[in-house]
Chains A and B, each alone.
Chain A
Amino acid sequence: MQPSIDTVRFNETPEGIDLGLRVAGPVPRALALALDGVIRAGLYLILTPLLILADFGLGLMLLAFFALEWLYPVVFEVWKGATPGKRAMGLAVVHDDGTPIGLPASMIRNLLRVVDFLPLLYGVGLVAVLLDRDFRRLGDLAAGTLVLRADGRAQPREAVMAGPVAPPLGLGLEAQQAILSFAERSQRLSAARRIELAEVLTQELGDRGELAVARVRGWASWLARGRAQELP
């Protein structure tokens, strides 16, 4: 895979294919953290009436506070793949090979949060996230984990329906893909933009306007299904 300026990180699976993992940057992560903070604060408030149960309630409350402080992220990451705040932001935590996170890695990254929090409000963590190519804080570096954007569904594409037109000879693979991509996306583009792009693709023939669009669609049809007409 060629180096990309995107935040997609490629990971080769045992099947020998490259799966793209879209790592999440500091802003959605900070928002997720704030959301989790709110959720936790809410839980603290719900738990305080336990004090009515006097001493036994106090013991329970202290245990619950301990769990909320240290185990809340670990439990949710191992069980659901992300804390509620991260889920709301569409984020998920995985090992750096893309597999779901397990208990040891989750413990490491969440206990080391103490250091990322230093000196004040995740100062160290933010610096680490900004310096690292995959936006990892120190806990992520030590645990070997990544925070991903989970919502990576591809856009729906249109079938190429135009009558086939033979494209010029000697088209490179990239040019062929650009033509196919244009045909699949053209309905979602505005008319002006569609024409502008088609004119770039048909530059050498000098087609203008809708004529250029039709020609590129014809080429795409030829590339996708050949000269034959019978297929659906």
Chain B
Amino acid sequence: MKQQQFEAANAPTWRRYRLLLEQLEGDAKSKRPPAQEDPQGFPQLYRAVCGHYALARTRAYSPGLIADLHDLARRGYPHLYRRRPRMLRAALGFMAEDFPRTLRRHALAFWMGMALLFLPMLAMGVATYLDEEIVYSLMDGLQVSNLEEMYDPANRKPGRSHGRQADTDFAMFGFYIMNNVGIGFRSFASGLIFGVGSAVILVFNGLHIGAAAGHLTRLDYGGTFWTFVSGHGPYELTAIAISGAAGLLLGKALLAPGRRTRLAALRTNARDAIVLVGGAALMLLLAAIVEAFWSSGPAPAPVKYGIGLAGWVLVALYLALSGRSRHGA
């Protein structure tokens, strides 16, 4: 078949396809009047155009025609192979199933993250509790006095410096989100530096928290400190460890890719790691809510400790059991 016959025979198909394309592309920008052309026929038309493009190439029709058909196919492709997730349902399913399942699949990375956060924390906590000088190896005098000021039992609102006493809970909520979720994201991303970045951030945060806890307990400010942190601690600390574990997964792909290329391993692990980061970010959101609206509140100490304990049990049960199917998995 000669080119002009071919063009004449298929022009009606191309015209209909072009109309549909304009409709589909227009939808994204402005609300057009309802479809004149039935979009049900789109896949069929698209496949027909793909066939025409392939034919035009093997028959060596003119490059202009080939370019036109390629253009038509290229514009249709993303409309057929588009994923439209239902956001709310996807988010619920994600937290109920995907996130805990993915975490259990990478239990080793998770426990490494927990160890990198909690072991330095414990060691530093004990050390600062026993020796009053050690805290200054990590923080300078100003930081230490800020810390003492924040958890002074005379404060109306524990956990906030004098300058921040007047801030409302909501302002602190904004601050916690920006700060904590930011730390979570960074400890994931820096894992791309062969996992070292994540490890450093985890250890550094562990040391700081441990130093604060040990130092304040030694000063007898423990009453304000521990009641303040008990509420949000379970979610916040676990989530930071999980973010770090996600970073460690990236590092593992680069250091020990197994029987894949480094790039392929990185891609596979990044897919899982981003699930962990997303889950950790939502946990940090919960932690920020608790920290801003509950932790500095006036509830008596036993209640706060009780809520904190319940939080740890809840996190452990959720991560260990949620999303397990009846047949095991």
Please report A residues at the B interface, Cβ cutoff 8 Å. 13, 15-17, 19-20, 54-56, 58-63, 65-66, 69-70, 80, 94, 97-100, 102-104, 107-108, 111-115, 138, 141-144, 152-155, 157, 160, 173, 176-177, 180-181, 183-185, 220, 223-226, 231-232
Contact = CB atoms under 8 A, between A and B. Distances in A.
B62 A181 contact: yes
Contacts of B107: none
B169 to A, nearest CB: 8
B274 A231 contact: no
B270 A16 contact: no
Nearest to B62: A180
A208 B172 CA distance: 83
B98 to A, nearest CB: 10
Interface string B75-103: 00110011101000000000000000000
A153 B177 contact: no
Nearest to A95: B81
A33 to B, nearest CB: 17
Nearest to A113: B189
Nearest to B173: A59
Interface residues of B, number: 62
A154 B56 CA distance: 16
Interface stretch (B66-74, B113-121, B234-242, B296-304): B66-74
Contact of B189 (A69, A112, A185, A225): A112
Given A55-B167, A98-B78, A154-B71, A180 B270 contact: no
A193 to B, nearest CB: 18
A154 B188 contact: no
B189 A115 contact: yes
7 contacts: A15-B46, A56-B170, A104-B275, A111-B274, A152-B74, A154-B67, A173-B60
A226 B274 CA distance: 59
Interface string B1-23: 01111001000000000000000
A231 B263 CA distance: 55
B2 A62 contact: no
Interface pairs A-B: 7 shortest CB-CB: A62-B174, A180-B62, A157-B64, A59-B174, A55-B168, A114-B189, A225-B4
Contacts of A153: 71
B54 A20 contact: no
Interface string B186-208: 10111011000100000000000
B38 to A, nearest CB: 21
Nearest to A16: B54
A32 to B, nearest CB: 19
B185 A70 contact: yes
B63 A225 contact: no
A19 B74 contact: yes
B61 interface: yes
Contact of A58 (B53, B174, B193): B174
Contacts of B2: 223-226
Contacts of A55: 166-168, 170-171
B267 interface: yes
